[in-house]
Amino acid sequence: MARILPLPLMATLLFCGCARLSTQAGGPLAPEARLKAEADGIREDLEAFRERKFRELPRIVQLPASAKCSVWDSAAQIGWVARKGLEPSSSVDAIFQATGLIRPGGNASHQRERMDCVVVKAMFQSRSRRIVVFDDSTVDRRQSLAHEMVHALQSEKLNLDTMLRSRSEPDAFLGKLGALEGEADFVADRVVGAASSPGCVDPSASILWTLDRSIHAVPQLAETPPIVGLPVYSPNVLGQRLACLLYARWGAAGLDTLLNRPPRGSFQLIHPTEYLKDVHEVDWDTAWSGIGQLPAGWLPAGQMRIGEVRLAALPLTWDRNLAADALRGEGLGWRGDRIWMARDREGRAAYVWRMSFSNPEKATEFGRLWWRILSIRRDRNLPAFEKRRRRSMWFEPGRGTHLVCAKGSDVLVSEGFDSLFAIKIQKSAFPRPR
């Protein structure tokens, strides 16, 4: 099946209009009693499906929908609100801005927080073992409740706080979140019999392009930058697909495998085959020394892996036609990347970005794509990418040198340094894969 993520799926994830508020027949019940009866019914089905019993059912409370944002914020102070970990530092925002992963002036942390208020439907707080649902007629409460109850069941086997805090990379965090959210969405759909459950869909790479399109089709999210929307939704959507595939093969034991061995990052989340074979992404020494000595006046300012999901934001942010070409079919062919950021005394940013792709053709394609995006970012007609030499370079007064070059299946991008340093790293500092 080639079709992935039809719109109804996203609608269910966000604001299901088909409010199945109660399946309890009979006379009117007080709201608390109705909630408890609903939870009891879900518990039975959930325990049967997961072949495991709750040691203790979490406390469930219902709050007014108008309190969503404030409850979400205060919950983050006292318990597990997993998505709060998505963009953990301002240095990450600085990297997104310098590379064009977000438009100038964009702030991923801030925009994600705004988005959270829109999309939150319910939450599970692991420390207080409390589920909060909201009195919101636009949300399928039974499905939200089931989703949070799966998290509660997960928390009896795993320490969710520890699992999510012991991350080394924002991209690795997406893998862990993918296991937790994916299982929760998949099991909740099965337990409540959601009609829109997508099943085990085709693991096509164009899933990121389709996911972005689905997010932007929701009016409240139309302005959400891809660097924010994709990481928020990919753990649920891609994780659910992975959970579905593992369940189809091994039943409940497959879901246990997913939780005990979460994807290493977004690459394994997108490519179930690579997850099953535990294929690792290409990586390099994280120290600046692997790149070469910084020019005088420059200091290291952080490094990270962008990862396959976030890299898709680059074409999606600047040109959706270019993105459609780049992300459909096999997609970018990402196999690894690491970016090193530096700042000078005036606070100007510069970076070196190493990337690896599935083959030399994909590397050249990315080089050309990056160069075209640069000309859009700078609003300049730059000479075409030098396809034969597989490189292009442009010195921009006040902004330093922009360089992209491909070598084998690898690509090196650098922006902001002087030409001398750019040429030096191009010639000598393709650091060895570790």
Residues that bind Zn ion (CB under 5 A): 181, 184
Asked if 19 contacts 140 with a C-beta cutoff of 8 angstroms, the reply is yes
Q: How far is the CB of 231 from Zn ion (least distance, A)?
A: 14
**β partners of residue 274:** none
Closest Cα to residue 139, out of 73, 214, 62, 200? 62
- Per DSSP, the three-state class of 218 is coil
Asked if 242 contacts 178 with a C-beta cutoff of 8 angstroms, the reply is yes
- Find tokens 């020494």 and name the residue: 285
Q: By C-beta, is 160 or 282 nearer to Zn ion? A: 160
Alpha-carbon span 250 to 228, nearest angstrom: 33
Task: Give the pair of three-digit tokens for residue 10.
Answer: 């996203």
Q: How far is the CB of 311 from Zn ion (least distance, A)?
A: 25
Task: Give the pair of three-digit tokens for residue 176.
Answer: 């862990």
- Per DSSP, the three-state class of 5 is coil
Q: How far is the CB of 368 from Zn ion (least distance, A)?
A: 39
Task: Give the pair of three-digit tokens for residue 83.
Answer: 């998505």
Q: How far is the CB of 244 from Zn ion (least distance, A)?
A: 16
Alpha-carbon span 176 to 260, nearest angstrom: 10
Q: How far is the CB of 166 from Zn ion (least distance, A)?
A: 19
Q: By C-beta, is 184 or 211 nearer to Zn ion? A: 184
Closest Cα to residue 90, out of 110, 70, 76? 110
Q: By C-beta, is 38 or 181 nearer to Zn ion? A: 181
Q: What is each CA distance from 73 to 83, 132, 143, 328, in whole angstroms?
A: 11, 13, 23, 37
- Taking 3-state DSSP, the helix, strand and coil percentages for the chain, each rounded to the nearest 5, stand at 50, 15, 35
| Neighbour-count burial for 221-253, b at 16+ CB within 10 Å, e otherwise | beebbbbbbbbbbbbbbbbbbbbbbbbeeeeee
Asked if 330 contacts 205 with a C-beta cutoff of 8 angstroms, the reply is yes
Q: By C-beta, is 184 or 245 nearer to Zn ion? A: 184
Asked if 151 contacts 180 with a C-beta cutoff of 8 angstroms, the reply is yes
Q: By C-beta, is 192 or 405 nearer to Zn ion? A: 192
Q: By C-beta, is 142 or 343 nearer to Zn ion? A: 142
* CB half-sphere exposure, 338, CA atoms < 13 A: 19
Q: How far is the CB of 255 from Zn ion (least distance, A)?
A: 15
Alpha-carbon span 293 to 429, nearest angstrom: 10
Q: By C-beta, is 233 or 417 nearer to Zn ion? A: 233
- Ordered DSSP codes for 323-377: HHHHHSTTTT-EEEEEEEEEEETT--EEEEEEEEESSHHHHHHHHHHHHHHHHHH
Q: By C-beta, is 235 or 416 nearer to Zn ion? A: 235
Q: By C-beta, is 147 or 343 nearer to Zn ion? A: 147
Q: By C-beta, is 123 or 218 nearer to Zn ion? A: 123
Q: For 247-250, which contacts have Cβ atoms below 8 Å and span 24 or more sequence positions?
A: 247/186, 248/200
Q: How far is the CB of 185 from Zn ion (least distance, A)?
A: 7
Q: How far is the CB of 271 from Zn ion (least distance, A)?
A: 23
Alpha-carbon span 397 to 401, nearest angstrom: 8
Q: By C-beta, is 143 or 214 nearer to Zn ion? A: 143
Q: How far is the CB of 354 from Zn ion (least distance, A)?
A: 33
Q: How far is the CB of 188 from Zn ion (least distance, A)?
A: 9
Q: How far is the CB of 85 from Zn ion (least distance, A)?
A: 13
